[in-house]
Amino acid sequence: MKILMATMGLDIGGAETHIVELSKELKSRGHQVAVVSNGGVYVPEIEAAGIRHYAAPLNRRSVGSMLQAQRILRQIIAREKPDIVHAHARIPAFLCGRLQKSMGFAFVTSCHGVYQVSGALRLLSNWGERTLAVSEDIRDYLIRQYNVPQEHITLTINGIDTDKFSPALTGETVRREFDLGDGPVIAHVSRLDPETVYTARQLVELAPALCQDYPGLHILIVGGGGAFEPLNAQAEEVNRKLGRPCVILTGPRTDVNQLVAACGLFVGVSRAALEAMAACKPVVLSGAQGHTGLFGPELLEKAVDTNFCCRTDPVSTPELLRADILRALALSPDRARELGDYGRRVVQERYSVHRMADDCLAVYDQVRRPFHVVMSGYYGFSNAGDDAILEAIQQAIHEASDHICVTALSNDPELTRRQYGLEAIPRFRVWKVFSALRRCDALLSGGGSLLQDTTSTRSLLYYLTVIRCAHRLGKPVMLYANGIGPVRRPANRRRVKRVVEQATLITLRDHSSARELQDMGVTRTDLHVTADPVFHLSPAPETRGEELLAGAGVAPGTPFVAVSVRDWPDTGDFCRQLAQLCDHLHREYGLAVLFLLMQPSRDRATAQQVQSFMAEPSCLLDTPCTPRELMAVLGKAKLCLAMRLHTLIFAARMAVPSMGLVYDPKVDSYLKELDLPAAGRVDSFDAQEAIRRADALMADYPAVLSHLKDKSAAMARAAGENERLLLEMLEQHRMH
């Protein structure tokens, strides 16, 4: 991969060292890496590793500097043509985000800290297509302050090179350079800016008192920044009063591993603290955001949660810091060695540079898929059938190719993101839908029965409008495993015919849908009859199905009939008649009766009404279930009575013989596709005729089951054609 890192600068600091180590590790794995920043002491190190560096004023918020930086970034990205742009700070992320809209590169960010900002500064935030957060509290901050979807955030670490920071280093050259003698040495490494100099200033202030207890003590403060000069003046004054150079400010250095090796105790936070731990040094965690104390096993979880930055602890006081420093300096050699060894183990187990690079590469793979498709359907309405279509398409596309990224138009984007980890946008927010279509490579309309006016003309017009918008934007449109019709109104039939004739690719879930299009006057010969995507969906584990059955009152091993009904107008005496069929199945064949809810808000009342008319006992599965969980339950059934089409499809996928309760032509069509009987039409349901048909099915049950297994396997193979044809369409469109 070609990777461009963008950051403010490369001087001493935790985020800066993170970028340097990450870039070097990615380079060592064969990737091409370039870095753009305002420069700093680490530039020679990355250039020595074969990493190109470009200079840009990415560290200043003035309008002039940002416009200049944006021009430079545009030139670099046009020249480098990176597969990934990875920004590591607010200004670089903001500028890269602006450029991405016109240049179309894959874009991720890393968040290394929390920033309390408001007003105009809040607008200078862009978290990319995916974000890496270096601690759990930073992840929570991104969700809380910026509404970044949790599934778009990957937790990562500050990876430490444990060969570079090693107890094998003696630091002898540093001890000679600064004439440190044999007394204790305390080290602190940090950017010395006004907002981060807090601990360094306290160390300078504490030096005289610490020297009273340890006369030969030295304090090494490593780093540069806007607060360096006043701090250095303060240190020189302390040294003058002590009559010797006790506090030494080294300025920015890249040999931090040697400086840390020269100390016996480290005071600081974040990455610098982890580097000291890797070198087996006892560490007092103390910084501008809080004071945690002398690190040991009892503080591990607290430290990990805040990325060793002390954000959940009280701010340090000189008294608190002095007490912990004296406690650390008083450790016996064995205890100091024990704490140092523990710290190194923590780094080796949790904070390796290899894992940090793995985390980044996994996120890069998520966003660098060359194809982006938008899916339009009846998603986000808590309907198990349509949710199953969405999940099945997602699963099938992922299995077919790692190069397709899916965005769903959803009634409840948050629910869709949470359940399926998909990018989702509100289906009725016109501008967001238009923007998604403008950026995508193709629109997938379906699956399901979208092109019908039984529900309403308004529903049909919505799906046709989305398709027309994609057409006008020059995007290929695939009608994905659609069930067509019924479309009754002549004007609607003409609308559907026009849209279908313009579609790039049409796959249909059954032959009756192809006949319906032909009846509308569609003359295309490339109508592909495949199968419903759900035939590709895997059920939840069998044990989960057993748990749900037990919770609904069906004892383990009990044969049962699964019944799925829904609200529908003008059904007359249907519920009473169906109750008689259910009672018959219970008495004659010993089948427990279990009612399933595919869309609870629309199914529950009808199911309870049928139950109220039954003379025999029955059960209702009223636990919220995912489509895969409902499939696992259906897989345990002996028989299925289904009014809802996707209950029939779930049952067929699980090879469970079924009878349809026909309320819509699509149910009758699919029964014929599967060679399964109808129990009757719901608007004229006759219990005695339904019982006769059920008895015929049960009498021929082994043959019906065998035939259904063959049909289900054939449908699964046919469903795989949807993805093959989709990939072919995307590749052909890209070539043109």
In tens, the pLDDT along 563-590 reads 999 999 989 999 999 999 999 999 999 9
Answer whether residue 343 shows pLDDT above 90.
Answer: yes
Share of the chain above pLDDT 70, in %: 99
Closest CA to 265 of 187, 327, 199, 324: 187
Q: Helix, strand, coil shares of the chain as percentages rounded to 5?
A: 50, 20, 30
User: What pLDDT score does 588 carry?
Assistant: 97
User: What pLDDT score does 76 carry?
Assistant: 96
Averaged pLDDT, 56-77 = 94
Region label for 50, one of left (φ > 0), alpha (ψ between -120 and 50) or beta (otherwise): left
> Looking at residue 636, what DSSP letter applies?
T
Please give the residue that has the higher pLDDT: either 561 or 90. Answer: 561
N residues, the chain? 736
Averaged pLDDT, 628-653 = 95
Backbone angles phi, psi at 655, to 5 degrees: 55, 50
- How, if at all, do strands 505-508 and 592-596 pair? unpaired
Closest CA to 701 of 667, 662, 736, 658: 658
Cβ–Cβ < 8 Å for 672, 509: no
The structure's pTM equals: 0.58
The helix-helix angle for 270-278 and 333-350 (nearest 10°) equals: 110
Averaged pLDDT, 334-362 = 93
**Out of 206-210, 303-307, 646-650, 695-699, least confident range:** 303-307
Share of the chain above pLDDT 90, in %: 76
In sequence order, the β-bridge partners of residue 376 are 409, 445
Taking CA atoms, 174 is separated from 203, 256, 259, 263, 459, in Å, by 20, 10, 6, 10, 75
Domains contained in the chain, CATH given: 2-155 (3.40.50.2000), 172-351 (3.40.50.2000), 369-529 (3.40.50.2000), 542-716 (3.40.50.2000)
Backbone angles phi, psi at 56, to 5 degrees: -155, 145
Cβ–Cβ < 8 Å for 552, 623: yes
Please give the residue that has the higher pLDDT: either 399 or 54. Answer: 54
User: What pLDDT score does 86 carry?
Assistant: 97
Answer whether residue 119 shows pLDDT above 80.
Answer: no
User: What pLDDT score does 118 carry?
Assistant: 60
Taking CA atoms, 219 is separated from 186, 241, 267, 282, in Å, by 5, 15, 10, 15
In sequence order, the β-bridge partners of residue 556 are none
Please give the residue that has the higher pLDDT: either 210 or 395. Answer: 210
Answer whether residue 150 shows pLDDT above 80.
Answer: no
User: What pLDDT score does 187 carry?
Assistant: 97
Taking CA atoms, 255 is separated from 42, 205, 223, in Å, by 10, 26, 11
User: What pLDDT score does 656 carry?
Assistant: 97
Q: Angle 452-454-456 (CA atoms, 0-180°, nearest 5)?
A: 90
Spell out the residues 6+ positions from residue 40 whose beta carbon is closer than 8 angstroms to its own: 9, 10, 11, 12, 16, 252
Cβ–Cβ < 8 Å for 593, 614: yes
User: What pLDDT score does 678 carry?
Assistant: 96
Region label for 536, one of left (φ > 0), alpha (ψ between -120 and 50) or beta (otherwise): alpha
Spell out the residues 6+ positions from residue 429 whose beta carbon is closer than 8 angstroms to its own: none
User: What pLDDT score does 522 carry?
Assistant: 94
User: What pLDDT score does 116 carry?
Assistant: 64
Token pair recorded at residue 638: 């002996």
pLDDT band at 35; cut points 50, 70, 90: very high
pLDDT band at 120; cut points 50, 70, 90: low
Answer whether residue 416 shows pLDDT above 90.
Answer: no
Spatial distance between the Cα atoms of 582 and 660, rounded to a whole number of angstroms: 14
Peptide bond into 551 cis (omega under 30): no
Task: Please state, rounded to an integer, the average pLDDT across all residues of the chain.
Answer: 92
Answer whether residue 121 shows pLDDT above 80.
Answer: no
- pLDDT tens track for 8-30: 999 888 889 899 999 999 999 99
User: What pLDDT score does 397 carry?
Assistant: 86
Averaged pLDDT, 698-703 = 96
Looking up tokens 């187990």, which residue turns up? Answer: 349
> Looking at residue 371, what DSSP letter applies?
E
The DSSP-derived string for 118-142 is -THHHHS----SEEEESSHHHHHHH
pLDDT band at 371; cut points 50, 70, 90: confident
Please give the residue that has the higher pLDDT: either 612 or 383. Answer: 612
User: What pLDDT score does 462 carry?
Assistant: 96
> Looking at residue 475, what DSSP letter applies?
-
Spatial distance between the Cα atoms of 531 and 329, rounded to a whole number of angstroms: 73
